[in-house]
Amino acid sequence: MIATYDPMTALIGGALIGLAATLLLWLNGRIAGVSGILANAIAAPGPERDWRTAFLVGLIFGPIVFAFVGGTLPRPVLPPLPEIVIAGVLVGFGTRLGRGCTSGHGVCGLARLSPRSLAATATFVATAMATVFLIRHVGG
């Protein structure tokens, strides 16, 4: 059994993410890793912070522009508050310790055929799948 999904829209959406990563490299020479950009945007002030803040502002406005031109945005249903906080801290701490997330390692790293990013991506996909399995099928 497979859920209903739209492969072409997913592929085009993914291609736009790839276009954004390409633009950031071609124009500014930077890797589009959201966790790294966020971590350094909340660091010391200066020009190195400014472009990262601009990227994040663009990122936040992207879905709003998408909705403005007729796109549908989800109404996310999140788990209870303690789980949200624990998950957020794990994602924040883990992406710093592992130096990247789904965009930095998963998209940009795999595109460079980086063995380091492949190892990181395989690891976080595996522990994420194990977590979902424990919660949904073992009980949590």
Q: How far is the CB of 138 from other proteins (least distance, A)?
A: 10
Contacts of 39 by beta carbon, 8 Å cutoff, 6+ apart: 95, 96
Q: How far is the CB of 17 from other proteins (least distance, A)?
A: 4
Lookup result for tokens 């071609």: 26
| Residue ranges in 92-111 that form contacts with other proteins under rule CB under 8 A | 92-99, 101-103, 105-111
Say how many residues touch other proteins, by CB under 8 A. 111
CA 56 to chain CA mean position, Å: 12
**Rounded least distance, CB 4 to other proteins, Å:** 8
Query: Which of 46, 70, 77, 139 is the binder for other proteins (CB under 8 A)?
Result: 77
Q: Which is nearer to other proteins, 81 or 139 (CB)?
A: 81
> Binding of other proteins at residue 137 (CB under 8 A)?
yes
Report the distance separating Cα 35 and Cα 27, nearest Å: 20
**How far is it, in rounded angstroms, from Cα 47 to Cα 35?**
18
Q: What is the DSSP letter of 73?
A: P
Nearest to 56 by CA among 38, 73, 39: 38
Question: What is the contact mask toward other proteins in residues 28 to 67, using x (rule: CB under 8 A)?
Answer: xxxxx-xx--xx--x----x--xxx-xxxxxxxxxxxxxx
